[in-house]
């Protein structure tokens, strides 16, 4: 708005200046073509003509006819000047003035008539009289012209004065505006300065916050990429480095991926406590770092799992040297605040190549190799081989099929006789599950039971076997028992005894004809709960046998904690007792122990008559093995009972066959 005002005032000042210039020009014109002067000249010239006319009448006056003619011409010219311009406009202002000028014109005209003829005295007198009569009117005209000129000048002066004041006012207003503008600019400048210093201040604060955020960001990034305990790169960073290494591999660079975990770390943790476990992990990180070259990446993936990215041109040699060094380094004792801890490590190695060219494949392959290293006895390293993957794939395929095996009715229970040695006849059958796979054929439980245990499928599978076995056994003669295997996982599910009771109820099989075979590993878990379940089952009249005795911990405390009805001696001892005295000693001891505790005994895996004879001699009460028969489908056993055959189906020895009547 201020700018608009200034602009308007400037235009007004310019316009005023223009008016002043015009007024000045008008004044100039007034001064240059002064009407008063023109009219005064006429008065003067007429009186000169008058004088010349009278003087010409006087002889020897020095004034002659020519002088009169000159003044007549002058007067005539003067009259011409009255015809236009300011004089004409002035004359037009009043009829009286017009009359005077008309008389003046007539005088001039009369003077010009007969100008070529000589001027007679009469004519001179007439000129004198006419001019004399104009004296007063012309003087009045001059006086009026003078007054008119003065009026015009006064008018112009008034206008000039007005313009002057207007111009002064405009100048004043312009000055005020300029002052206001300067003030406003100063005010704005001050505000701008203040705002600028505020912005600078805020800028500093922002800069400081930015620095702080950057520092925090860097710290967070570090934490996100490093393990807080050891300071080593973590899984995230390791994966990033692995991706970079894979990118470099596309341009020809080689590398190896080593996955390792500590052997016996859990024991150290349990024995010395978690703080010492942490100290151990830190010490391991330092040793690992000391083993690798600059540029290699050592990372902690979690727990006691570490991984190394080793770069280099010559594999597998380089990886082999590094793995051997690490195994050696980590096998040396650790001093943890005065506590000596001995661990070791197992290492799996995968080397990048055409087949192993993705992060996932490399990590999985190194892991598989690590499992192999552990399986080979720990404290060693192992390179990945394709066969490891094939096994995993095969296992995965079994896993997928096993999930649907039950609903597809692919499972079947086989039965293997348990031969009572003193009675000389079959006392019962062990129920052994089989899987009739549509493409793989008959799959051994040794292959799929561990998988079912891992997948949690063993509970429904075990319940199904239990029901099948009870339903089948109830069709057999009343003195024939059925033995069913229980997996440790079944004890962990709460409904075990309930499901067994239901199987007995549904089938109608007396509890006394059911024998449960459990392994020592079932007692390793929450033994209180397991023992409670066993007591509950025993109270129903079910017999409990301890299976595979001799292969696990074979702790005698198990025998004391629960009064088993039977001990089953593992077939590995039976198989070798003929030529290995230690195995024979174990078999003899177990049989003696069981006899002392009043337990029955079953020797598994009896394949020869020599073994049978020895077992009979050592006091074994029951035998099971291919010597008598292999496990068979239920239909074949039913058929055998129905035929009241006195021989076992396809029994191996005549003496035994005759005793099985």
Ligand X SMILES: Nc1nc2c(ncn2[C@@H]2O[C@H](COP(=O)(O)O[C@H]3[C@@H](O)[C@H](n4cnc5c(=O)[nH]c(N)nc54)O[C@@H]3COP(=O)(O)O)[C@@H](O)[C@H]2O)c(=O)[nH]1
φ and ψ of 563, to 5 deg: -80, 85
Looking at the Cβ atoms of 61 and 444, the one nearer to ligand X is 444
**Residue 449 touching ligand X (CB under 6 A):** yes
Q: Extract the tokens encoding 592.
A: 């003696």
* Radius of gyration, alpha carbons of the chain: 68
- Smallest separation, CB 486 to ligand X (Å): 6
φ and ψ of 499, to 5 deg: -70, -35
Helices 121-225 and 2-32, packing angle to 10 deg: 160
With CB under 6 A as the contact rule, the residue among 485, 601, 611, 659 that binds ligand X is: 485
**Residue 411 touching ligand X (CB under 6 A):** no
Looking at the Cβ atoms of 265 and 435, the one nearer to ligand X is 435
**Residue 547 touching ligand X (CB under 6 A):** yes
Q: CB-side exposure of 405: number of CA atoms within 13 Å?
A: 31
**Residue 468 touching ligand X (CB under 6 A):** no
With CB under 6 A as the contact rule, the residue among 417, 427, 631, 651 that binds ligand X is: 631
Residues 81 and 75: their CA atoms lie apart, in Å, by: 10
DSSP string computed for 106-142? HHHHHHHTTTTS---HHHHHHHHHHHHHHHHHHHHHH
**Residue 310 touching ligand X (CB under 6 A):** no
Looking at the Cβ atoms of 34 and 519, the one nearer to ligand X is 519
Q: Under rule CB under 6 A, which residues in 66-105 are in contact with ligand X?
A: none
CA torsion, ordered 126, 131, 136, 138, to nearest 10 deg: 150
**Residue 626 touching ligand X (CB under 6 A):** yes
Q: Which of 582, 581, 578, 647 is nearest to 613 (CA)?
A: 578
Indicate the SS3 state at residue 13.
helix
Binding span for ligand X by CB under 6 A among 69-77, 342-350, 440-448, 524-532: 440-448
Which three-class secondary structure string do you get for 381-419? EEECCHHHHHHHHHHHHHHHHHHHHCCCCCEEEEEEEEE
Binding span for ligand X by CB under 6 A among 201-209, 283-291, 307-315, 618-626: 618-626
Site string for ligand X, 550-569 (x = CB under 6 A): ------------------x-
With CB under 6 A as the contact rule, the residue among 351, 465, 514, 620 that binds ligand X is: 465
- Smallest separation, CB 543 to ligand X (Å): 15
**Residue 417 touching ligand X (CB under 6 A):** no
Site string for ligand X, 576-615 (x = CB under 6 A): ----------------------------xxxx--------
Looking at the Cβ atoms of 126 and 447, the one nearer to ligand X is 447
With CB under 6 A as the contact rule, the residue among 124, 141, 284, 432 that binds ligand X is: 432
**Residue 624 touching ligand X (CB under 6 A):** yes
Instruction: Please tell me the chain's helix, strand, coil percentages from 3-state DSSP, rounded to the nearest 5.
Output: 65, 15, 25
Binding site for ligand X (CB under 6 A): 416, 430, 432-433, 444-446, 449, 462, 465, 485, 487, 517, 547-548, 568, 571, 604-607, 624-626, 631
């Amino acid at each position: 708005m201020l700018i608009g005002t200034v602009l308007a005032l400037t235009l007004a000042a310019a316009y005023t200046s223009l008016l002043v210039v015009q007024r000045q020009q008008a004044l100039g014109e007034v001064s240059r073509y002064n009407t008063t002067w023109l009219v005064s000249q006429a008065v003067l010239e007429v009186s000169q003509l008058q004088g010349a006319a009278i003087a010409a009448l006087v002889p020897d006056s020095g004034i002659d006819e020519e002088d009169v003619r000159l003044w007549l011409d002058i007067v005539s010219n003067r009259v011409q000047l009255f015809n236009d311009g300011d004089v004409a406009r002035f004359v037009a202002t009043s009829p009286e003035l017009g009359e005077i000028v008309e008389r003046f014109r007539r005088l001039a005209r009369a003077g010009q008539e007969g100008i070529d003829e000589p001027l007679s005295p009469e004519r001179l007198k007439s000129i004198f009289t006419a001019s004399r009569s104009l004296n007063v009117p012309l003087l009045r005209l001059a006086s009026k012209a003078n007054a008119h000129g003065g009026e015009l000048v006064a008018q112009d002066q008034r206008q000039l004065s007005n313009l002057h004041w207007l111009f002064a006012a405009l100048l004043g207003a312009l000055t005020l505006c300029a002052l206001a503008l300067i003030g406003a600019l100063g005010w704005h400048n001050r505000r701008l300065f203040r705002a600028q210093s505020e912005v600078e201040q805020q800028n500093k604060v922002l800069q400081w916050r930015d620095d702080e955020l950057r520092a925090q960001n860097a710290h967070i990034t570090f934490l996100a990429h490093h393990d807080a305990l050891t300071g080593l790169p973590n899984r995230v960073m390791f994966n990033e480095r692995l991706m970079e290494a894979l990118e470099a591999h596309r341009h020809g660079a080689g590398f190896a991926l080593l996955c390792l975990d500590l052997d016996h770390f859990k024991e150290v943790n349990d024995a010395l406590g978690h703080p010492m476990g942490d100290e151990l992990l830190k010490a391991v990180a330092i040793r690992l770092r000391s083993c690798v070259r600059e540029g290699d990446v050592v990372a902690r993936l979690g727990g006691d799992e570490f991984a190394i990215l080793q770069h280099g041109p010559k594999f597998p040699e380089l990886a082999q040297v590094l793995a051997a060094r690490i195994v050696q380094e980590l096998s040396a004792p650790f001093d943890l605040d005065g506590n000596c801890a001995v661990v070791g490590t197992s290492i799996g190695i995968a080397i990048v190549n055409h087949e192993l060219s993705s992060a996932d494949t490399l990590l999985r392959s190194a892991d598989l190799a690590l499992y192999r290293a552990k399986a080979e006895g720990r404290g060693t390293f192992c390179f990945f081989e394709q066969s490891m993957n094939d096994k995993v794939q095969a296992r995965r395929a079994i896993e997928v099929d096993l999930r649907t095996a039950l609903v597809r009715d692919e499972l079947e229970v086989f039965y293997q006789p348990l031969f009572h040695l003193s009675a000389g006849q079959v006392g019962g059958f062990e129920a052994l599950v089989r899987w009739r796979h549509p493409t793989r054929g008959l799959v051994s439980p040794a292959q799929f039971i561990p998988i079912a245990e891992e997948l949690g499928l063993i509970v429904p599978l075990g319940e199904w076997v239990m029901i099948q076995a009870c339903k089948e056994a109830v069709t057999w003669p009343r003195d024939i028992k059925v033995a069913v295997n229980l997996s440790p996982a079944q004890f962990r599910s709460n409904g075990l005894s309930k499901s067994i009771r239901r199987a007995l109820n549904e089938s109608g099989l007396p509890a006394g004809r059911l024998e449960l075979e459990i392994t020592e590993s079932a007692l390793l878990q929450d033994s209180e709960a397991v023992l409670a379940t066993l007591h509950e089952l025993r109270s129903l009249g079910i017999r409990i046998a301890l299976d595979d005795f001799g292969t696990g911990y074979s702790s005698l405390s198990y025998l004391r904690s629960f009064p088993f009805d039977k001990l089953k001696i593992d077939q590995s001892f039976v198989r070798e007792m003929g030529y290995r005295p230690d195995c024979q000693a174990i078999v003899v001891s177990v049989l003696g122990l069981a006899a002392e505790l009043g337990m029955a005994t079953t020797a598994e895996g009896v394949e020869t008559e020599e073994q049978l004879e020895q077992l009979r001699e050592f006091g074994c009460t029951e035998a099971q093995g291919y010597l008598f028969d292999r496990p068979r489908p239920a239909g074949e056993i039913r058929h055998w009972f129905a035929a009241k055959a006195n021989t076992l189906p396809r029994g191996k020895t005549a003496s035994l066959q005759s005793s099985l009547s």
